[in-house]
Amino acid sequence: MSPLLPFAAPPPPGEVVLCCVDIPRRLDPSTVARLREALPDDERARHERYGDEGAAGEFLCGRALLRAALSTWGAVERRAWRLTHNAHGRPDVEHPATTARFNLSHTRGMVALALGRDPAVGVDVERLDRRVRPLEVADRFFSPDEVTELRALPEARHRDRFLALWTLKEAYIKARGMGLALPLRAFSFMPDEAPPRVRFDPSLGDDAARWCFARVDLDPGHRVAVAAKVARLTVHVVRVDLDALAHHVGLPRATGGV
């Protein structure tokens, strides 16, 4: 049986495996049943509480993918990994059986999981056709420099630039684990640089030289960004097929399934 991930162990520091799964708005019942096999009781209960079928599917696929990946690299049953949460809700895994750390993101139709050994890693995925008014949201949330540069572009480029900034800003606040407790206006991204760079307001108490960012060209319909507090960052993209994931989690780990 082919492995779910083409890596035998978590990547070395400074490298991130970015696993992306395309998911339909409606999962078929047999896929749901198989994926739920990977979840512990509290996550199954949370899955059942989602009122929206799309959001429920995103949560289910994300956690099943996470648990399958962790069990690929550590001899612990998928359901048995215990996740901790910080004061801002960031889930993390701290277990002697793994050196892996992670961050998850989902958008309608896709789940993205960033896996590595560095604890400060963040990922954000957004759909390009997401309903949003770029200038209105930018005025509310982006830094003055980001707004000025966005407004200077032709309107046809607003959406793409906006989503590049949005995903980078989300990836950074997620890597910090603080979510919207960090003031989004207090840092400015330069998304067109390769790799993207950031300027921090002194009030943020952070050092831009300690961070690396990547924009990932996944497909024409999505924008993805990764942030990591590392000296150099390499991102390995792995597309995971949903049926393959459901098949793997339907197999017992002892037989080589993940």
Ligand X SMILES: CC(C)(COP(=O)(O)OP(=O)(O)OC[C@H]1O[C@@H](n2cnc3c(N)ncnc32)[C@H](O)[C@@H]1OP(=O)(O)O)[C@@H](O)C(=O)NCCC(=O)NCCS
Q: How far is the CB of 47 from ligand X (least distance, A)?
A: 10
For ligand X (CB under 6 A), the number of binding residues is 21
117 or 174, CB closer to ligand X? Answer: 174
Judged by CB under 6 A, does residue 59 bind ligand X? yes
String marking each residue 131-150 x if it binds ligand X according to CB under 6 A: ----------x---------
In the complex with ligand X, which residue's Cβ is closer, 5 or 93?
93
Site membership for ligand X, residue 211 (CB under 6 A):
no
Question: Interface with ligand X by CB under 6 A: which range of 19-27, 153-161, 164-172, 220-228?
Answer: 164-172
Based on the shown chain and the rule CB under 6 A, indicate whether residue 105 belongs to the binding site for ligand X: yes
Q: How far apart, in whole angstroms, are the C-alpha atoms of residue 124 and residue 114?
A: 9
Closer Cβ to ligand X, 34 or 47, answer by number = 47
Rounded to whole angstroms, the Cα distance separating 205 from 51 reads 39
Q: How far is the CB of 232 from ligand X (least distance, A)?
A: 22
Residues in region 214-253 near ligand X by CB under 6 A: none
Contacts of 151 (CB under 8 A, 6+ apart): 135
Q: Which is nearer to ligand X, 73 or 142 (CB)?
A: 142
Given 15, 118, 124, 146, the residue binding ligand X (CB under 6 A) = 124
- Interface residue with ligand X among 62, 134, 196, 257 (CB under 6 A) is 62
Structure tokens at 69: 């990946």
- Backbone φ and ψ of 203, nearest 5°: -65, -20
Q: Quick one: three-class SS letters along the chain?
A: CCCCCCCCCCCCCCEEEEEEEECCCCCCHHHHHHHHCCCCHHHHHHHHHCCCHHHHHHHHHHHHHHHHHHHHHCCCCHHHCCEEECCCCCEEECCCCCCCEEEEEEECCEEEEEEECCCCEEEEEEECCCCCCHHHHHHHHCCHHHHHHHHCCCHHHHHHHHHHHHHHHHHHHHHHCCHHHCCHHHEEEECCCCCCEEEECHHHCCCHHHCEEEEEEEECCEEEEEEECCCCCEEEEEECCHHHHHHHHCCCHHHCCC
Q: How far is the CB of 250 from ligand X (least distance, A)?
A: 21
Considering the complex, state which of residue 163 and residue 246 has its C-beta at the smaller distance from ligand X: 163
Among 54, 74, 91, 119, binds ligand X (CB under 6 A): 91
- The CA distance from 87 to 178, in Å, is 8
Minimum distance from CB of 102 to ligand X (Å)? 8
Q: Which of 174, 222, 223, 248 binds ligand X (CB under 6 A)?
A: 174
Residue closer to ligand X (CB basis): 122 or 257 = 122
For binding to ligand X (CB under 6 A), which residues are involved? 59, 62, 88-91, 103-106, 124, 141, 166, 169-170, 173-174, 177, 179-180, 184
